[in-house]
A = this chain, B = another copy of it.
Amino acid sequence: MSSTDVLLALDWGTSSLRAYRFGADGRVVGSSSSDDGVGAVHDRGPRALRDALARAARRAGATRPLPTLACGMVGSRQGWVEVPYVSVPADLATLTDRITVVPADEGPLHILPGMVDEGSLPSVMRGEETQVVGVLDRARWAGSESIEQLIVLPGTHTKWVTVRGRSLQSIATTMTGEVYALLRRSSILAATMTTTTALHREVFESAVRLARSSGVGATSTIFSTRSLGLLDRLPPEAQAAHLSGLLIGHELLDHQPPGDPPAWTLAGEEALCRRYACAGEVLGWPTPTIRADAAPRGLWRLATAAGLVRLVEEEAHE
Interface residues of A (CB under 8 A from B): 116, 118, 120-124, 156-157, 172-176, 178-179, 182-183, 186-188, 210, 213-214, 216-224, 227-228, 230-231, 233, 247, 250-251, 253-255
Q: Select one of B179, B213, B231, B250 contacting A179, CB under 8 A.
A: B179
Asked whether A254 lies within 8 Å of B216 as measured between CB atoms, the reply is yes
Asked whether A222 lies within 8 Å of B120 as measured between CB atoms, the reply is no
Contacts of A174 in B (CB 8 A): 219-220, 223
CB distance from A67 to the nearest CB of B (A): 30
Known interface pairs A122-B227, A124-B230, A174-B223; 15 further A-B residue pairs with C-beta atoms within 8 A, sorted by A's residue number: A116-B231, A118-B231, A121-B210, A121-B220, A122-B231, A122-B233, A123-B224, A124-B227, A157-B188, A157-B223, A173-B227, A175-B219, A175-B223, A178-B187, A182-B186
Give the distance in Å from the alpha carbon of A253 to the alpha carbon of B122 in the complex.
21
Asked whether A213 lies within 8 Å of B175 as measured between CB atoms, the reply is no
Asked whether B187 lies within 8 Å of A123 as measured between CB atoms, the reply is no
Give the distance in Å from the alpha carbon of A174 to the alpha carbon of B224 in the complex.
9
**Copies of this chain per assembly:** 2
Give the distance in Å from the alpha carbon of A204 to the alpha carbon of B122 in the complex.
17
Give the distance in Å from the alpha carbon of A222 to the alpha carbon of B173 in the complex.
9
Asked whether A178 lies within 8 Å of B188 as measured between CB atoms, the reply is yes
Contacts of A254 in B (CB 8 A): 216-217, 219-220
Q: Select one of B213, B219, B228, B230 contacting A218, CB under 8 A.
A: B219
Give the distance in Å from the alpha carbon of A25 to the alpha carbon of B17 in the complex.
72
CB distance from A32 to the nearest CB of B (A): 26
Contacts of A224 in B (CB 8 A): 121-123
Nearest 10 CB-CB pairings of A with B? A217-B217, A216-B254, A173-B223, A220-B254, A182-B182, A122-B227, A174-B220, A218-B219, A176-B219, A121-B224
